[in-house]
A and B are shown apart, each in its own frame.
Chain A
Amino acid sequence: NAGVTQTPKFRILKIGQSMTLQCTQDMNHNYMYWYRQDPGMGLKLIYYSVGAGITDKGEVPNGYNVSRSTTEDFPLRLELAAPSQTSVYFCASSYSYGSYEQYFGPGTRLTVT
């Protein structure tokens, strides 16, 4: 099992550019999550999904979009990147909702300049 994988590991974007962060899990988990972690700070939930075709907003969804067409994949789209989106992005998955361990990917370090 590879677990949760994310690509790319690092990315530098110019202001106004767009990109998609990829996340894939091979544990057949229905639940998937996207977080951002600013330097020295905690995790903020951006979006989550309870299954293919179903997504919902977390604490900080503005400036991001997600889709979930398969159980395995949960890409995060940044449109019109801004310096405030400079952060480390973690994808996670869990067997079920709420009271189950979340398994995290290795993260994507994004810088917007």
Chain B
Amino acid sequence: GENVEQHPSTLSVQEGDSAVIKCTYSDSASNYFPWYKQELGKRPQLIIDIRSNVGEKKDQRIAVTLNKTAKHFSLHITETQPEDSAVYFCAAINQLIWGAGTKLIIKP
């Protein structure tokens, strides 16, 4: 069946450093790739998304890159801050399949 693989499951970085989370999907027909952030005890919220006709999208300190040939897309967070600590999820296949999540820990 269709699947979305997300890595790593946990990522610990020093405050101010960059973080990269990667998702790989199986369905080549997927054309929308969102990233959601879920803070502890809260609901998931969209932070950035990209459509298949674009290779990269930036919004201040966060960016998403897409490689359709290799069927993977990545979330990049630069100059990480304590408030970036959360679980991040990717989704694909019309958002019907979600990655398992990455717990991002920002060390002071």
A is bound by B: yes
Pair A98/B95 contact, Cβ less than 8 Å: yes
CB distance from A3 to the nearest CB of B (A): 10
Which B59-105 residues sit within 8 Å CB-CB of chain A? 89, 94-101
Interface check B26, CB cutoff 8 A: no
Q: Roughly how many angstroms separate A98 CA and B51 CA in the complex, as a whole number?
A: 11
Interface check B45, CB cutoff 8 A: yes
In-complex Cβ contact of B98 among A43, A99, A104, A107 (8 A): A43
Q: Which residues of A contact B101 (CB under 8 A)?
A: 41-42
Interface check A34, CB cutoff 8 A: no
Interface check A112, CB cutoff 8 A: no
In-complex Cβ contact of A43 among B42, B44, B46, B51 (8 A): B44
Pair A101/B34 contact, Cβ less than 8 Å: yes
Q: How large is the interface on A (under 10, 10 to 19, 20 to 34, 35 or more residues)?
A: 20 to 34
B-contact bits for A41-52, CB 8 A (1 contact / 0 none): 111110010000
Contacts A45-B98, A98-B95; A104 near B89 (Cβ below 8 A): no
Q: Which residues of B contact A97 (CB under 8 A)?
A: 94
A-contact bits for B1-16, CB 8 A (1 contact / 0 none): 0000010000000000
Contacts A98-B32, A104-B44, A105-B43; A45 near B96 (Cβ below 8 A): yes
Contacts A104-B43, A104-B45, A107-B43; A43 near B96 (Cβ below 8 A): no
List 10 A-B pairs, Cβ < 8 Å. Answer: A35-B98, A43-B89, A58-B96, A59-B97, A90-B44, A98-B32, A98-B94, A99-B95, A102-B46, A105-B43
Chain A residues engaging chain B, CB cutoff 8 angstroms: 35, 41-45, 48, 58-59, 90, 94, 97-99, 101-102, 104-107
Chain B residues engaging chain A, CB cutoff 8 angstroms: 6, 31-32, 34, 36, 42-46, 49, 51, 89, 94-101
